């Protein structure tokens, strides 16, 4: 029915071990997520469905492009961060949940962002899969925090600029093919991503003065917009040059 080649067989065998570890970690995190969501959110369906989708997509990407024979703690940490994002997505629709819990989970997910990359470099498990997985978890974290800020009434809809700029960029790439080209590594892009998430967390921190909400949101949105504009200009001028 399906013809196999030595290269395909070797690739499948090589990806089996990290995939098994990935699914094992995901199973443990699913149980923990279900427990936390049921007891703190009173509903576990949304977080579990979202996390299942993340695991499915990430697992497919791991099989297709992961080049190392072991999963590594670095990717397990990123998967833990993804579970936290799923929990925060459920928190968007749980107004009874303490803002301190939301802030603690978001801050932990943000703090672990530097840990997974450090572990990958230290254990020589750096990969395109890990970098992409980490980036998508960062984007999801920004999106759910911005939605929580909107639904809680802390900010207006303008906060969605901070949470959904990347998704707008991806959507635009389907009608503007120049945006689909790969971008070179950029310290500016990484630094502004840190500023973006840090600003969102500052806005959900209960002790942040109300007078600071608008300035922090506006400044972070301007920096993020400038960063995306720089990338768009680079991609379009490179294509036409």
Which tops the pLDDT comparison, 162 or 3? 162
CB 70 within 8 A of CB 14: no
Looking at residue 15, its pLDDT comes to 56
Each residue of 26-64: pLDDT tens digit?
999 999 999 999 999 988 899 999 999 999 999 999 999
User: What is the structure's pLDDT at 7?
Assistant: 44
> pLDDT at position 5, please?
45
Across the range 180-202, mean pLDDT stands at 91
- Domain map of the chain by residue range? 72-240
Query: What pLDDT is attached to residue 114?
Result: 87
Q: Per CATH, which fold does 72-240 belong to?
A: 1.20.120
Give CA 127 to chain center in angstroms.
16
Task: Quote the tokens at residue 79.
Answer: 């998967």
pLDDT in tens, 117-145: 999 999 999 999 999 999 999 999 999 99
Name which of 5-19, 70-84, 96-110 the model is least confident about. 5-19
Instruction: State pLDDT tens for residues 152-165.
Output: 999 999 999 999 99
- Residue-level pLDDT at 43: 84
Q: Regarding predicted confidence, which is higher, 238 or 135? A: 135
182 — pLDDT class (breaks 50, 70, 90): confident
Pick the closest to residue 12 from 79, 69, 55, 52 (CA basis): 69
Burial label, 144 (beta-carbon count in 10 A; 0-12, 13-18, 19+): buried
């Amino acid at each position: 029915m399906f013809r196999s080649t030595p290269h395909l067989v070797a690739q499948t065998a090589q990806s089996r071990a990290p995939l098994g570890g990935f699914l094992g970690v995901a199973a443990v995190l699913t149980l923990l997520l279900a427990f936390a969501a049921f007891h703190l959110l009173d509903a576990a369906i949304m977080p579990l469905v979202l996390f299942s989708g993340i695991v499915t997509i990430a697992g497919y990407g791991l099989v297709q492009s992961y080049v190392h024979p072991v999963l590594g703690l670095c990717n397990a940490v990123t998967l833990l961060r993804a579970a936290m994002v799923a929990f925060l997505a459920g928190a968007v629709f749980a107004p009874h949940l303490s803002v301190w819990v939301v802030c603690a989970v978001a801050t932990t997910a943000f703090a672990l962002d530097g840990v997974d990359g450090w572990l990958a470099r230290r254990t020589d498990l750096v990969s395109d899969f890990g970098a992409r997985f980490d980036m998508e978890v960062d984007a999801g974290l920004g999106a759910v925090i911005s939605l929580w800020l909107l639904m809680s009434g802390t900010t207006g809809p303008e906060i969605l600029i901070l949470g959904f700029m990347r998704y707008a960029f991806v959507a635009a790439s389907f009608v503007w093919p120049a945006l689909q080209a790969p971008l070179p590594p950029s310290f500016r892009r990484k630094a502004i991503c840190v500023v973006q998430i840090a600003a969102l967390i500052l806005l959900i921190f209960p002790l942040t003065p109300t007078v600071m909400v608008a300035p922090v949101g506006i400044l972070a949105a301007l920096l993020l917009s400038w960063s995306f504009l720089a990338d768009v200009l680079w991609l379009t001028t490179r294509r036409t040059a």
